[in-house]
Amino acid sequence: MSSGPGADSAPAHNLPDDNTTTAAPSEGRGTFASLRVRNYRLFFAGAIVSNTGTWMARITQDWLVLSLTGSAAAVGITSALQFLPMLLFGLYGGVLVDRFPKRLLLLASQGALGLCGLALAVLTLSAHVQVWHVYLVAFLLGMVTVVDNPARQSFVSEMVGKGQLANAVSLNSANFQSARLVGPAVAGALIASIGSGWAFLVNGLSFLAPLAALLLMRPAELHRVERAPRAKGQLREGLRYVAGRPELIWPIALVGFVGTFGFNFPIWLTAFADEVYHVGAGTYGFLNTLMAAGSLVGALLAARRGGSRLRMLVGAAMVFGALEIAAAVAPAFWLFALLLVPIGMIGLTVNVSANSSVQMATDPVMRGRVMSLYMMVFMGGTPVGAPLVGWVTDTYGARVGFATGGAVSLVAAAVIGLVLARAGGLRLRFELRHGHPHVHFVQRERLTTAA
């Protein structure tokens, strides 16, 4: 039972230092601590299977559209159609998630995602598939995701509780990145050996795993969360809730900038592989694998930390932008490839830190609406940012395009970091320690006393 709006929010004056610190209890620490919870263990196992199927479908979908049209623009349209519903209707999905039991919503949404995969499998295997079929299924997948994404994000806290939330969020990311390493390889083998339709079929059937996991859960062991009753103005209420809390609005804004401008790797890696280093498709796949490996390491390290602070989020976003700029000007292919590993690792740290910080600072009764806004900003920016970044890359070259994305991420993190410091009553302090400069935040009161 919630004790009122903001009951789980840290006070704003502690923002840049210790707010949203989400350490697990001493008896629950460890990289895989949240897997001790039976319901989450079932959820995690089901997600491994369905995430692998999802990555298989992503690769197969792009390949199918390219083979049907011969147009890279058509592939871009497919991706835009899949992300567009989150941008248009994401907030309404959050209202539904706060109003209905999340486990039941997930049973419906996961079933619908499986049916979409099976429909595309039938069309492809029967040789009746046309590009508009793929467009339609991509849009339907996006519509289901409007509810599925905030439901999955907010359901984690009901499975593991507040003490294990940061760890579970990190393990979810590790789960997704593990599937990213396996799914594309399996999809490539299936496409080459027996055709695209069978890859879609495997994806559709993979959703039986999360459905079984949800059905096998023990509802009595879920953490009780107050549901929002049906009422007018719930969407506006959610927006006002976020707008009035710096600990929510600024991390979401930062994720928006980084997600919109800093995460356009399909555009940049394709351009670098083809235009800068003149390597083949196999090497392009290798670059993606390096980034996925870095992301997996980042997720496991985040799970081991078991906590998240806004200063870590801001610092990671600044390092992420700087690494992208460094990769953009890398003179040799081997250096560019090596930099993709820390880029993947730090990029995942940004995502996990923002996700867990926002969830921990949100009252449970508002969590669906807040997470829908988070996902709308993070994923919904793709239809906006990708064409802009793509135009810069096409017009001025891959290096300028990549550096632009990194620069926007770096500047956004620096500005938001200063805003959070000001909101928390902090100032930058410069000191010499053992002959080396050191920069850190201190309370204004402390500076006044010292003076």
pTM higher than 0.75, yes or no? no
* Closest-CA residue to 156 (of 39, 254, 239): 39
Half-sphere exposure of 200 (CA within 13 A, CB side): 24
Lowest mean pLDDT among 154-163, 228-237, 350-359, 403-412: 228-237
**What pLDDT, on the 0 to 100 scale, is given for residue 11?**
31
AA letter at 71 = S
| Confidence bin at 443 (pLDDT 50/70/90) | low
Would you tell me how many other CB atoms lie within 10 Å of the CB of residue 327?
A: 22
Share of the chain above pLDDT 90, in %: 30
209 contacts 49 by C-beta, under 8 angstroms: yes
Could you give the CA distance from residue 50 to residue 286 in angstroms, rounded to a whole number? 23
Asked if the model's pLDDT at residue 3 lies above 50, the reply is no
State whether residue 116 is helix, strand or coil: helix
Confidence at residue 16, expressed as pLDDT on a 0 to 100 scale: 40
Per-residue pLDDT tens digits for 382-413:
777 877 887 888 888 889 999 999 999 999 99
pLDDT of 423: 66
Please, what is the Cα angle at 329 between 326 and 330, to 5 degrees? 80
Q: How far apart are CA 47 and CA 150, in angstroms?
A: 15
Helix extents (H) in 207-280? 208-216, 234-243, 246-257, 265-271
Across the range 61-82, mean pLDDT stands at 77
Assign 107 a pLDDT band (cuts: 50, 70, 90). very high
Mind listing the pLDDT tens digit for each residue in 315-352? 999 999 999 999 999 999 999 999 999 999 999 889 88
Report pLDDT for 23. Answer: 42
Q: Evaluate if residue 32 carries a pLDDT over 60.
A: yes
Q: Is the pLDDT of residue 374 over 60?
A: yes
Taking all residues of the chain, what is their mean pLDDT, rounded to a whole number? 80
Q: How confident is the model at residue 7 (pLDDT cuts 50, 70, 90)?
A: very low
d(CA 283, CA 273): 7
**Overall average pLDDT of the 212-216 stretch:** 96
Taking 50 as the threshold, does the pLDDT of residue 27 lie above it? Answer: no
- pLDDT band of 440, cuts 50, 70, 90: low
The per-residue b/e assignment along 235-252, b for 16 or more CB within 10 angstroms, e otherwise, is: eebbeebbeebbbbbbbb
- Tell me what percent of the residues of the chain surpass a pLDDT of 70: 82
- For residue 154, is pLDDT > 50? yes
CA 300, CA 151: separation in Å to the nearest integer? Answer: 23
pLDDT at 332: 92
What would the mean pLDDT of 293-299 be, rounded to a whole number?
Answer: 85
